[in-house]
Amino acid sequence: MEDWIYLDYNASTPMAPEVVSVMKESLIAQAHPSSKHPWGLRANRLVEQARAHVAEALESQNEEIVFCSGATEASNTIIKGISKSLQLPEGPHHFITSAVDHPATLEPLRFLERQGHELTILPVDHQGSLLPSQVDAAIQPNTALVSLIHGQNEVGTLQPLAEIGAICRERGVLFHVDASQSLGKVSISVRELMADFLHIAGHKVYGPKGCGALFIRKGLNLEPLLHGGGHERGIRSGTPAPFLIAGLGEACRLIKVLGLVPKAPAERLWQRLREQLGSKVRRNGHPDCRLPNVVHLTFETSHGQEILDRARVCASTGAACHSASGSPVLIALGFTAKEAAASVRLSTGRLTSEEEAEAAADRIVEAVSQDQKRSLPSQSKVSSP
């Protein structure tokens, strides 16, 4: 594996050395954080210090942060918790999301739809963008929640969530943001986004897998997904894991210390590919409003997975959760099955140098060249979706 180049940071990031160090130190603090003896108090301090780091990264208050196992649990907690909340009038309730949202959002919403609630899945344009006016027009008197992804995990398009959040606040509709991919890559402020709920995942920000957090705006409450001992303000029962939580907290602290993921490696990667492949490749997603580390490509005749394997580049032909079955996101953008199969997502990270990005581009160019030598001359160029 040493000769492979890793460009799959959107799927998962390696843990930062500082995170590993903090987690190792935290392993000895395995008393229950709710216990009142010295060991329990030490574990509690680790949890609360991590809570402060997460809150600072999101520009929220400490008491608005709830720890959980990750983005999927967080999203299910928010969506299903809202549907059962005593703060809402009796259903059926109406929910709004987009066609390019993550399955961790779409599937709980479809579950609610099967339970008799209403669901609107808004379409996007060929760049993956959603208009605020679409959300405004979709809101109904019984709309309970608008739930949208911030940075699209496959093509990287950033949605105009501050404008959408303002619409939701004005219309009296709760607003949930999936910030799993955008935290650490662009600035996040729950106040600027006017989010009522927001969630993140540790393994997307150089923290541990199996740990995430959700922001719940002060004054709001949810019916818990997990009932039990009433941990985490009664929102998420279950004994907290201080070493995982400490790792997530340190990862969020590093965002403030090290800054956002640099844009230069991804742009150098794309420039090199464009210079050498020209019209044989196109870049997808919004040209300006996008995550700074994503280069989503469609090749003229090549099969995406074969190119990656031949180039020895660790990347994806879609989101990790879709790689085996094709991408509903690309279908929503208007891609044909052939175009989707010829597409790859390259995502750089904090450890990616410009030199490594150039080396990956050169490998991909060579792999495309080898592939095209095997192709029939009559094959046509890809058209824009």
Are 27 and 36 a contacting pair, CB within 8 Å?
Answer: no
Sign of CA dihedral 26, 31, 37, 43: positive
> Which one of 211, 289, 314, 321 is the catalytic residue?
321
CA gyration radius, the chain: 22
The structure tokens listed for 66 are 């709830």
- Helix H, strand E, coil C: the string for the chain is CCCCEECECCCCCCCCHHHHHHHHHHCCCCCCCCCCCHHHHHHHHHHHHHHHHHHHHHCCCHHHEEEECCHHHHHHHHHHHHHCCCCCCCCCCEEEEECCCCHHHHHHHHHHHHCCCEEEEECCCCCCCCCHHHHHHHCCCCEEEEEEECECCCCCEECCHHHHHHHHHHHCCEEEEECCCCECCECCCCCCCCCCEEEEEHHHCCCCCCCEEEEECCCCCCCCCECCCCCHHHCECCCCCHHHHHHHHHHHHHHHHHCCCCCHHHHHHHHHHHHHHHHHEEECCCCCCECCCEEEEEECCCCHHHHHHHHCEECECCCCCCCCCCCHHHHHCCCCHHHHHCEEEEECCCCCCHHHHHHHHHHHHHHHHHHHHHCCCCCCCCCCC
**Which residues, at least 6 apart from 344, have a Cβ–Cβ distance to it below 8 Å?**
296, 297, 299, 304, 305, 307, 308, 315, 316, 317
168 is catalytic: no
Q: Which of 2, 6, 1 is nearest to 348 (CA)?
A: 6
**Which residues, at least 6 apart from 351, have a Cβ–Cβ distance to it below 8 Å?**
6, 14
Catalytic residues: 321
